[in-house]
Chain A
Amino acid sequence: MTPAAETPLLHARNIGFRYGRRESDYRFDDWTASFPRGAVTALTGPSGCGKSTRLYLLALMLRISSGSIELDGERVDDLPDGARAALRANRFGFIFQDAALDTSRTVLDNVVETALYRGERKRDLHTRARELLDELGVAVPADRKPGEVSGGQAQRIATCRALIGRPDVIVADEPTGNLDPASAQVLLGALRRHTDQGAGVIIVTHDPGVAAWADHRIELSAS
């Protein structure tokens, strides 16, 4: 069933979160935000304001303490752990600040890793993985280990991993933070092509250029 046009792809409704139980532990309350499909939304703000925490809450990697999170209009924050993991594998793509690749496996293995969590055969994704590696200009053989490539190349590989399952939502935590301008441009171009196909991208960034490039911007203040 196609969601109604006005329904946001992802919606955080009055969510609250706290790390730990002490008063001094990080916390926020009553945060509401919508993330449309077919667009890039940037989360910006000073360090420590909770940008990454909100990103991981939206991606169902952390549990909110109040409020609700809806994906395509359906509440998903209260699902059991297995169902949340399945949603992450099937509906989300992730790009972390430091690429987070498995250095013991080949570039190709890294790109197709999430197939295992979706219950797909990795072999069936090899062709698409090679196309993505070409598209993002990864200039190393697919059988090479990630430890042998530069930071920029590693982040491009991580972007291929995020795109391989054609996710509805890509969450990216400062993906261009450690990249040279050329690599950053390639990565952002790939994300833009993905939103052109109807997906939503949420990107945490300190870079004013990236924030300006995004279609929407949510500015968080220090708590």
Chain B
Amino acid sequence: MSARTVILGLVREALAAIRTQHAVTAVTVLLLAASSFTVVTTAGRAAASQAAVLSTIDARGTRTILVQAKGAVEGVDEQFLATLARVADVEAATGFGPVTDVTAAANPDGPRLGVRQAYGVIGGRLLTQPEPGPAGVLLWTSPAASRVVGLPPGAGSVRAVDGGEYLISRSLEVPDYLSGFEPLAVIPATPREPGAAPRPVSTVVVLTRSPESVGVVTTLITRLLREAPPDQLTIQTSEGLAALRKAVGGEITRSSRGLILGVLGAAALTSALTVFGYTMLRRKDFGRRRALGATRMTIVLLIALQVMLTAAFAAALGVGVALAYQALRHQPVPPAGFSAAVAIAITALATLAAVLPATLTARRDPVRELRVP
């Protein structure tokens, strides 16, 4: 006898019990689906609102640190960027050089666009370009930047007011933390010559991995730039927004927690009562199983599996209907993680709650149970 055969046998038996015990299956599905629906449409809506508010706050840059230098300041250079990129708490660091105005090459008198030499990473893409070829220096522009000079996204060429020509080679997707730089057009830095001094940058935007990391990374930046003259350097952080984010998240979570715990507790209690009622109604059935050779563990596993499979179906149904209901009413839909957590919690709690009545059933005297009329 293999463990796989035993487990598959138990699962098949539990599924057969679910199919044949219509009343208990229907009651369990109804109660647990209603619990899941309630959590998703109440606390889930709060979680969705929270996610939306936090997303708005995040878009304002709760994780960004802005370093600005007046002119060439010692230490604010591409080496500084490389150092920051190696810090675990830093997700991205982008450096910009001074701005040069350009116009569309075909329309020298047209609207002007500021382009910047750029170093580091934008949106996970490393800013590098080969040595300038016959076509000129390559330029990356956002769709908004291309629109300014009347060019299609990622194509065309522009000319600087001082005469330099740039070929637009890529359409740039601007991440939220750089949205303040729109319309953004950048000249990716060429690789540094071996032995050459690091090139200075005028602005550095650092994106940390979490709002909580802003303080630590700011301290690190201050230490790295301690030799720079203070009047030549500005460091702006988003610690205020990070504190707001934390407060908003905590407030909504606190108000929902009581409701979630209440509904989950009620789901567990109803599961325990339903299973208790079911096992009392089927005393003779379980007594027969014990008499015929089922161990106590087999009885507990059979009942727990029956409840677990029913609860998983009920929770998925309740969550699915709740999400559809929210979407149809154009109300905020909770994050996928929240919905999955609700389904898993309902299933786990209902199963755990079934273990006590299942154990009581397994411990009853089979001879007595067989004599139940």
Contact = CB atoms under 8 A, between A and B. Distances in A.
A117 B2 CA distance: 13
Given A104-B20, A120-B5, A122-B9, A61 B291 contact: yes
Contacts of A114: 292-293
Interface stretch (B222-230, B294-302, B346-354): B294-302
B370 A116 contact: no
Interface string B260-304: 000000000000000000000000110011111111111000000
Contacts of A87: 293
Contacts of A117: 289, 292-295, 298
6 contacts: A62-B367, A81-B295, A96-B291, A96-B370, A100-B291, A116-B10
Contact of B367 (A56, A81, A109, A116): A56
Q: Which 5 A-B pairs have the closest CB atoms?
A: A89-B293, A119-B1, A117-B293, A104-B20, A88-B293
A100 B10 CA distance: 21
A113 B16 contact: no
B292 A120 contact: no
Contacts of A94: 291-292
Most buried by A among B5, B21, B292: B292
Interface in A120-168: 120-122, 161
A100 B370 contact: yes
B294 A120 contact: no
A105 B292 contact: no
A119 B20 CA distance: 22
A82 B292 contact: no
A115 interface: yes
Contacts of B10: 116
A104 B21 contact: yes
A16 B284 CA distance: 27
B5 A85 contact: no
A86 B1 CA distance: 12
Nearest to A115: B9
A193 B291 CA distance: 24
A88 B291 contact: yes
A82 B16 contact: no
B53 interface: no
Interface string B1-39: 110011011101100110011000000000000000000
Contacts of A56: 367
Contacts of B366: 61
A82 B295 contact: yes
Contacts of B5: 119-121
A92 B293 contact: yes
Nearest to B296: A81
A180 B15 CA distance: 37
Contacts of A161: 292
A54 B365 CA distance: 15
B291 A116 contact: no
A219 interface: no
Contacts of B6: 119
A135 B298 CA distance: 31
Contacts of B288: 96, 100, 102
A206 interface: no
A86 B6 CA distance: 13
Contacts of B8: 121
Contacts of A119: 1-2, 5-6, 9
B370 A85 contact: no
A217 interface: no
B16 A109 contact: yes
B97 to A, nearest CB: 73
Contacts of B21: 104
A161 B294 CA distance: 14
A90 interface: yes
B202 to A, nearest CB: 75
Nearest to A99: B288
Contacts of A113: 289, 292
Given A56-B367, A89-B292, A122-B9, A116 B20 contact: no
